[in-house]
Chains A and B, each alone.
Chain A
Amino acid sequence: MKKRWIEGLIIGVICVVGVRVASHMEIEQRYPYGNEALLQQIQTLKKELQQQSETITVLETENGFLRDRTKSSDEIVNQYIETIDHLELKLGYTQAKGPGVEVRIQEDNLYPNMSVLAENTEILHDVISYLNVADAEAIEINGERYTARTEILKVGSHININGISIGSPIVIRAIGDPDKLAAALDLKGGIIFAIENYLGLEVVVEKQEEMILKSQVSRESSRFIRGVDDE
């Protein structure tokens, strides 16, 4: 009886080794350079991304400089510009600066192909709504400014905001009264409670004395809307 077990075990081990060798050979045949070629390509793409991001920053600085130069000494002109500046801030065209809160939602990578947050994007709408209730003046999610046309979409296993793919940790930053914003989020049984207890994610809310939110790159178009007085 003992011998049968040993024989079975040996045959089993041989099968396993055989199968693994065969599988490895198959992968090598299909990808002679292994994963390296793919990884290298990914690295090149990431570098390109970095360079493009730096270009955006340079352009943004220039843009700010030009914007300042549009101001004049005329009082009425400045009043108009002030109102335009105010609206552009709300539209996310310009940087926003001030105190506020930073909400960091951390997700464990327990399931490589699944994101709890991507499956529950409505929770992000809720966080934004709570911040708005507490009179947030400007909001961004992972560096993407939240505007009246921002959409939060699940694309595959990740989230797209304004067309940009983002992943964990999700960092939502809001400018406004830090105490009020934090209190709205930390409400007992509120949104933070729901994220921690129902989704099992870690959430950290930090008050900040000063934050700078980036401007929104793309601007609104008006293919369909027009003013009621327009002909």
Chain B
Amino acid sequence: MNDKKRLPLFIASLILGFCLLWLVRVQSNHLEEEEKAELFRLQNQITVISELIQTREDSLSERVEILATYQSLTDETETLAYLREDLQQKKIFSGSEAVKGPGILIKVNDRTDSGEQVEMFDLVHNTDILNIVNDLRAAGAEAISIEGERVVWGSKIQCGGPIIWVNDESTTAPFVMKVIGDPSALFAAVTAPNTYTDLLRSVYNLEVRVRVSENLEILGYERRR
């Protein structure tokens, strides 16, 4: 074989070699990134657990304090007053008491410009509401209501055909949600690009309106479970 004929073969092998080098490098970088990600995840988890331990220690101290308070309470009226106050706080946190505070109002409605032919994505589904609630919780929402129904730990947000069940109440679009918490964090959670609510508005063209309010009032969940 003369040199002229061998050259293309050599070049082809060289290209193949470079391709393989690139692949091997990509693979090794990929493994390296995985290790770093795992390490970062663990370090992050340790930070979180350390904080949790601190919280638990605080919780323990709180318990010791409660115990000391109970022991110091001699008068029945005083004891009941103390317990009533504690109960009131737990009722607020558990959602069984009406609450007020700053936050945002969200209105989510079915697509109104789709004409006569309505597609699945033109409607608000229970999964949309569940996702919005989740985003709001992540943004530190302290109290949420959907169409006046307080969202508590065991709230059902379930599809019921043309309606959505919230707790034991049937609700229909438009869905108005009241949320108490840090107004700016909550506002960002439902308006920032690529948030779930933003996708509902920009991709699926659902009607979404968000308004900040300095004073919202949310009723308590009445059914006792």
Residues of A at the B interface (CB closer than 8 Å) are 3-4, 7-8, 11-12, 15-16, 18-20, 22-23, 26-27, 35, 38-39, 41-42, 45-46, 48-49, 52-53, 55-56, 59-60, 62-63, 66-67, 69-70, 72, 74, 76-77, 80-81, 83-84, 87-88, 90-92, 112-113, 121-122, 125-126, 129-130, 132-133, 135-137, 139, 146-153, 156-158, 163-165, 217-228
Residues of chain A within 8 A (CB-CB) of B43 are: 45
Which residue of the partner chain, among A70, A133, A152, A219, contacts B156 with CB atoms under 8 Å?
Answer: A133
Contact B141 A149 (CB under 8 A): yes
How many A-B residue contacts, CB cutoff 8 Å? 235
Asked if residues B21 and A19 are in contact (CB atoms below 8 Å), the reply is yes
Chain B residues near A146 (CB-CB < 8 A)? 153
Q: Taking the nearest CB of chain B, how far is it from the CB of A162, in angstroms?
A: 9
- Which residues of chain A come closer than 8 Å to B95, judged between CB atoms? 148
A226 surroundings in chain B (CB, below 8 A): 92, 99-101
Asked if residues A136 and B79 are in contact (CB atoms below 8 Å), the reply is: no
B56 in contact with A225 (CB, 8 Å): no
A139 to B89 Cα, complex, angstroms: 23
Are the CB atoms of B55 and A219 closer together than 8 Å?
A: yes
Complex-state Cα separation, A112 to B10, whole angstroms = 36
Tell me if A91 and B93 are in contact (CB < 8 A).
yes
- B residues sitting closer than 8 Å to A (CB atoms) are 1, 5-6, 9-10, 12-14, 16-18, 20-21, 24-25, 28, 31, 34-35, 37-39, 41-46, 48-50, 52-53, 55-57, 59-60, 63-64, 66-67, 70, 76, 79-80, 83-84, 86-103, 126-127, 130-131, 134-135, 137-138, 140-143, 151-158, 165, 180-182, 217, 225
User: Can you offer 17 A-B residue contacts whose CB atoms are under 8 A?
Assistant: A15-B14, A15-B17, A23-B21, A52-B46, A59-B53, A59-B56, A66-B66, A69-B67, A76-B80, A87-B87, A87-B93, A125-B134, A133-B156, A222-B93, A224-B181, A225-B180, A226-B101
In the complex, A178 Cα to B143 Cα: how many Å? 30
With A19-B17, A113-B34 already in contact, the answer to whether A217 and B55 are too (CB < 8 A) is yes
Which among B9, B142, B153 has the highest number of chain A CB atoms within 10 Å?
A: B153
Neighbour of A152 across the interface among B60, B86, B134, CB < 8 A: B134
The residue on B at minimum CB distance from A27 is: B28
Known contacts A56-B53, A88-B90, A137-B225; A224 and B103 CB within 8 A of each other: yes
A7 → chain B, closest Cβ, in Å? 7
7 nearest A-B residue pairs (beta carbon): A15-B17, A80-B83, A151-B138, A87-B90, A125-B130, A151-B137, A11-B13
Instruction: Please indicate the chain B residues that have their CB under 8 angstroms from the CB of A133 in the complex.
Output: 156, 158, 165
Which single residue of chain A is at the shortest CB-CB distance from B21? A19
Smallest distance from the beta carbon of A213 to chain B beta carbons, Å?
12
Which residues on the A side are within 8 Å of B127 (C-beta)?
122, 125-126
Task: List, in ascending order, chain B residues with CB within 8 A of A27's CB.
Answer: 28
